[in-house]
Amino acid sequence: MIPGDVVFELEQTKHKIFERRGDNLFMKMKLTLKEALLGFKKEIPHLDGRTIELETDKMTGPGMRYRIKEEGMWNRQDAKFGDMVVEMEIVFPKDRTVPPKLREALTKHLGHQEL
């Protein structure tokens, strides 16, 4: 037999949670309005079976991103992991009415907010 090359062709399939961008893993996470305003504690199932915990006690705005260092994909050439980037989506309640007492409390505590 004459020696030759073995050629592999790999096709990356779409994952239901993560999108790979280089060595980084990107995902979107939905938060309730309450979680966005008061903070949250969420668990993210990682590709390798571990659970990554993401927690904050601060307000989170729509589109805000949290970067979790070295929880992305392994880069053999650089001998390091990429990051996991979690982008937040805020889900508003279906009932769009705000009860009068809550409206009063929000107005009092939020006051006039500078942009």
The pLDDT, as a whole number, for residue 113 is 66
pTM of the model: 0.80
In a domain, 31, yes or no: yes
Give CA–CA dist 30/88, Å, rounded: 6
If you average pLDDT over residues 71-99, what whole number do you get? 93
Q: What is the mean pLDDT of the chain?
A: 92
In a domain, 49, yes or no: yes
Give CA–CA dist 42/52, Å, rounded: 8
* Count of domains for the chain: 1
Range of the domain at 58: 19-93
In a domain, 23, yes or no: yes
Burial of 54 (0-12, 13-18, 19+ CB in 10 A): middle
In a domain, 106, yes or no: no
CATH of the domain at 59: 2.60.260.20
Q: Report the side by side order of strands in the sheet with 84-91.
A: 19-21, 24-32, 84-91, 65-68
Give CA–CA dist 83/87, Å, rounded: 13
In a domain, 88, yes or no: yes
In a domain, 3, yes or no: no
How do residues 19-51 score in pLDDT, each as one tens digit?
A: 999 999 999 999 999 999 999 999 999 999 999
In a domain, 102, yes or no: no
Quick check: 73 pLDDT over 70?
Answer: yes
In a domain, 52, yes or no: yes
Pure H helices in 1-115: 33-38, 100-110
